Amino acid sequence: MPETVLAAESLTSGYGKAVICQDVSLALAEGEITCVIGPNGAGKSTLLKTIAGVVRPMSGSVRIAGREIAGLPAPRIARSGMAYVPQEANVFRQLTTHENLTMGAWTDPGRAEAACARVYGMFPDLKPLRRVRAGNLSGGQRQMVAFGMAMMLEPRVLLLDEPSAGLSPLMVRHMFDIVRRVNADGVAILMVEQNAIEGLRVAHRGIVMAAGRVALEGTAGALLDSSEVSELYLGTRA
């Protein structure tokens, strides 16, 4: 049995008094990709934000490799070996590509130089763009910068919020290739995807969220075959 690197238990969170995620539990095993799917407004992004500490949990627990992080501020969670890539505004637009990557090693600046070299190896397309401001990059390039920034300190767990959003079909395939490659290096990934079919194809396991709760979970293959999933997707039960 592989070790559980990220575990959430009865996690409830939201904004103000509005509860968005309700009593969500999940476990991410070492080296695994879990894809969270579900209709718009199901609370998928809020779930990731809560785990990353951007949204404060109202109750419940989040543990990384056994260590409790629920309720810690985001800058502390950034030191826990988990890296989060938000869906929007996931680069510093006024900073250059290179400066963005360097920000990914903020908590351990001594490793920045070697890490940059490694990330440029991962995304050779970024190397000629190192002095270009992230705000002037294309959507796909920005997504690579965001991803590269998160990979700087070789996290054990990666949280990806809709890595394919807004990308061209070619770029989407490229992005999922990268997700697979990073995962092959041993990084566990919890990924939210609007593009359910593509997302589940990359993943080992899947979680279907509806109305803030886990509606269904199982292996990615089983979910892809499940009629219930397509039903939820069409919104008939959500």
Interaction site with another protein (CB under 8 A): 52, 54, 73-75, 78-79, 84, 86, 89-95, 99, 102-104, 106-107, 109, 135, 149
Min dist. Cβ of residue 104 to another protein (A): 6
Alpha-carbon distance 81 to 153, whole Å?
8
Contact 8, 51 (CB under 8 A): yes
Alpha-carbon distance 136 to 155, whole Å?
27
Comparing CB distances to another protein, the nearer of 42 and 152 is 152
DSSP run (H or E) holding 59? strand 57-64
Comparing CB distances to another protein, the nearer of 2 and 16 is 16
DSSP run (H or E) holding 191? strand 188-192
Min dist. Cβ of residue 87 to another protein (A): 12
Min dist. Cβ of residue 160 to another protein (A): 13
Min dist. Cβ of residue 82 to another protein (A): 10
Alpha-carbon distance 63 to 65, whole Å?
6
Count Cβ atoms below 10 Å from residue 180 Cβ, excluding itself: 14
Comparing CB distances to another protein, the nearer of 91 and 203 is 91
One-letter amino acid of 124: P
Token pair, residue 177, equals 């290739």
Alpha-carbon distance 159 to 50, whole Å?
11
Min dist. Cβ of residue 196 to another protein (A): 25
Comparing CB distances to another protein, the nearer of 137 and 215 is 137
Comparing CB distances to another protein, the nearer of 53 and 206 is 53
